[in-house]
Chain A
Amino acid sequence: MEAIAEEVRQIISRELEIPLESLAPDTALKDLGVESLDLIEIIFALEDKFDISIPYNANEAAAAKGALAKAGLGKLETVAEIAAAVKSLVDAKISA
């Protein structure tokens, strides 16, 4: 988990062009001024890096019955939440 979490943190840092130190696990991206288009670029970079598909729909981001929830994933609001979703999808890929 640590290795994936660290890579996720580095990708977020690189995509947002902000120092790695400013990203703690509980840092909420919206507090950094991240908008919808920034988030989908981060998701794209994560999908490319880990060869996974993150079922994120910008219209359902906050919906309890959205695509993320249907896939058994939590929200993508903090660094830790994003790392957990990536970990879950990587694990699913390995077990498949």
Chain B
Amino acid sequence: MNRVVITGLGVVSPVGCTLEEFWSALVEGRSAIGPFSIARGEQGSTRIAAQVSRFDAESRFESRKLGLLDRFAQFALSAARDAVRDSGLEITERLTLETATVIGNSSGGQTTVDDSYFKLYGEKSPRVHPLTIPRWMTSAAASQISMDLGLKGPAFCVGTACAASTHAIGLAFHMLRAGLAPVAVTGGTEACLTLGSIKSWEALRVLSQDNCRPFSRTRSGLVLGEGAAVLVLEERAHALARGARVYAEILGFGMSADAGDITASDPDGAVRAMRAALKDAKRNMQDVDYVCRTSITSTRTAPERCKTTGRRRRPCEPSSGRRPDALRCRPARPSSGMGWARPAPSRWQRPRLLSANR
């Protein structure tokens, strides 16, 4: 099996749209949660989010191309271009034909949907924009990256809600390890700060109105965010042969499903995923120095009672008796300053951890 390394990083985040800005904001603990501005936002009651405010789409894309790109695809394409540039990779004829593009996304082009439906129902217009569908479909980000960079290998999106970008990167990793592609452009993107989306989250009764503090006993819910992060994964031998800078090697990946509740996560599921990743990596729990808590501590976070003991347990506490600190480390989560960019909060952790290795 091939060894797989990370050789390129690109981000569009609420705390910055370059790796340097992103990293310095993390080091300084700078939060981007605050007032935000969206079309028709006065109809919502939520007043805070982690919005990408310094992203200049006009300077990044020519106007003709921009017409095809919803905000979520703009973020993804921008991060993908930056990641490939960062990797120093030259897209040769072979790489054109074989490079994979795997992008996590769950909401698709929400800005496009919101504007189109407002036109239809609000303004009683008889028609919507002709490019509504190509902008809106969840696969648009992966497709636009593939077209922009000329990548003709497998290109698809993964839409597993807050796990989407983790799943995307995991699938890309397994594809490279199995020899299905020599290089993959992979990550996640989301831009769901629209009135319709925010009203829907408000209806679920899980949005915080003050701040994001996922591990606090007084946490009051999640804060929505937006952005994209993209990695270049590469066969290790391929990367070494071209003298690429290697940020890190991916050793293993594990997945699980709770088969339980649609909004509340079961800590046992996280434990099984972690064990699967360790097994995949052929490593022991004692080999782990750091756990970066990905995703959300569940959409609904009222403590659940353990089915066997009746004892209330916290969202991050597995029921098996082995708590995460059996890994000699404490879980941490980077999104407390960047909001919960729904399918892809987990994407923040990779550029975050890897930037430290630069």
Contact = CB atoms under 8 A, between A and B. Distances in A.
B209 interface: yes
B175 to A, nearest CB: 36
B297 to A, nearest CB: 10
Interface in A1-43: 35-37, 40, 43
Contact of B203 (A35, A40, A60, A67): A40
Size band of the B side of the interface?
Answer: 10 to 19
Nearest to B299: A58
Interface in B297-315: 300-302
A56 B301 CA distance: 14
Nearest to A62: B302
Contacts of B220: 57, 59-60, 63, 66
A58 B218 contact: no
Contact of B302 (A43, A44, A61, A65): A61
Nearest to A65: B218
B219 A67 contact: no
A60 B205 CA distance: 10
A40 B262 CA distance: 14
A7 to B, nearest CB: 21
A59 B301 CA distance: 6
Contact of B206 (A35, A43, A57, A62): A57
Contacts of A44: 203
9 contacts: A35-B261, A37-B263, A37-B300, A57-B220, A58-B205, A58-B221, A60-B220, A65-B218, A66-B220
In the A-B complex, the 7 residue pairs with the closest CB atoms: A59-B221, A58-B205, A36-B300, A40-B205, A58-B300, A60-B220, A58-B206
